[in-house]
Amino acid sequence: MSYKDAERIFKGLHSKAIKVFRGFDKNVKINRTNWKYKEKGGGQSVELANGKIIEKGAVNFSSITGKIIPGSALSTKIKSKARNFSATGVSIVIHPENPFVPCSHLNIRYFELGDKSWWVGGGYDLTPYFPFADDVNYWHKNAKIITDELDKSLYKKFKKDCDEYFYLKHRKEKRGVGGIFFDNLNELPKESYFAYLSNVMDTYLSSYSQIVKNRCNIKYEKKHKEFQLFRRGRYVEFNLLYDRGTVFGLQSGGRAESILMSLPPNVMWSSNKSKIFKKFEQELKKYI
């Protein structure tokens, strides 16, 4: 499988995701921006906004080639001394209007380093504000099914890695209820991993669509919306302080608007939590 093959697969998954989101939110506005990378390549950033269900979302595709790979993309497992790279992938973040619908995130990516080294990474996670046990169990069950198809020994690790990665050290709390997270996979044939990445995308889309359907018509009050905006602050903190995708994008000289498009449109910070916020947070922390 060549890099061009990988690029073509990701473009197809990018288009599929946009179609799904447009399907469950007919009112959402879609704004596409094609951009070019400073060295070679580029991508398409698709902003979703002002829908009935989606307050703001981003569905982005990129494929870039450069001479020096940013340090944020490397790990101790990557032994190659080469520094020229190609990287392609899809990233998604959805911030819903209704606070009873959770925020969701997906990222899948493929790297080539020099002539020989390659690896895949990615995952998805769920960030509810008012969690439902059925949704959380459904989310994790489906992630386990597809990961077991790749290798039954991996789900426990991918789930644990997700919980550890999406963790705000300064708050001593997880960002959400987790999902799966994986990186530096290259021991199996590329075809096996790309079949898994396709399953990851399909399962993310179907799982999230079902949860949206279950919760999008729940009536909410001002206090619920304000708590959603308050908890969105945690999402912003993670993305700006810890997220490796954000760091890689900025280090590689990517399009800033695309890199930061995942941030929510409205956020609220407060140093003093009301009694109702403390109550909502106590319920939430039973799951995170």
Which residue would you say has higher pLDDT here, 271 or 284? 284
Find the domain containing 217 and state its range: 3-284
Task: Report the candidate in 88, 145, 139, 91 with the shortest Cα–Cα distance to residue 111.
Answer: 88
- Read off the pLDDT of residues 189-211 as tens digits, 9 standing for 90 and up: 999 999 999 999 999 999 999 99
Lowest mean pLDDT across 12-21, 73-82, 87-96, 131-140: 73-82
Token readout for 181 is: 């997270």
pLDDT the model gives residue 212: 98
Query: Hey, CA dihedral for 216, 226, 102, 59, is it positive or negative?
Result: positive
Token readout for 215 is: 């919760």
pLDDT the model gives residue 80: 55
pLDDT the model gives residue 256: 86
Q: What is the mean pLDDT of residues 17-35?
A: 96
pLDDT the model gives residue 116: 80
Task: Report the candidate in 87, 100, 96, 90 with the shortest Cα–Cα distance to residue 122.
Answer: 90
What single-letter amino acid sits at 242?
Y
Given a cut of 90, whether residue 229 has pLDDT beyond it is: yes
Q: What is the pTM of this model?
A: 0.93
Token readout for 50 is: 């002002």
Tally of structural domains, the chain: 1
Task: Report the candidate in 77, 75, 13, 69 with the shortest Cα–Cα distance to residue 46.
Answer: 13
Burial of 237-271, coded b for 16+ CB within 10 Å and e otherwise, reads: bbbeebbebbbbbeebebbeebbebbbbeebeeee
What single-letter amino acid sits at 163?
D
Is residue 168 within 8 Å of residue 79, measured between CB atoms? no
- Read off the pLDDT of residues 77-99 as tens digits, 9 standing for 90 and up: 555 565 688 999 999 999 999 99
pLDDT the model gives residue 190: 96
- Taking the C-alpha atoms of residue 41 and residue 51, their distance in angstroms, rounded to an integer, is 31
Given a cut of 80, whether residue 242 has pLDDT beyond it is: yes
Q: Among all residues, which ones are annotated catalytic?
A: 105
Q: What is the mean pLDDT of residues 266-271?
A: 90
- Read off the pLDDT of residues 32-68 as tens digits, 9 standing for 90 and up: 999 999 889 999 999 999 999 999 999 999 999 988 7
Alpha carbon distance, N-terminus to C-terminus of the chain: 39
Query: Hey, CA dihedral for 158, 13, 207, 166, is it positive or negative?
Result: positive
Q: What percent of the chain has pLDDT over 70?
A: 95
**What CATH number does the domain containing 206 carry?**
3.40.1500.10
pLDDT the model gives residue 77: 57
pLDDT the model gives residue 255: 83
Lowest mean pLDDT across 79-88, 151-160, 210-219, 259-268: 79-88
Phi then psi dihedrals of residue 272, to 5 deg = -115, 115
Lowest mean pLDDT across 16-20, 72-76, 138-142, 191-195: 72-76
- At 73, the pLDDT band (50, 70, 90 cuts) reads low
Q: What is the mean pLDDT of residues 116-137?
A: 96
Given a cut of 60, whether residue 18 has pLDDT beyond it is: yes
- At 251, the pLDDT band (50, 70, 90 cuts) reads confident
pLDDT the model gives residue 167: 97
- Taking the C-alpha atoms of residue 20 and residue 286, their distance in angstroms, rounded to an integer, is 31
Local structure of 101: helix, strand or coil = coil
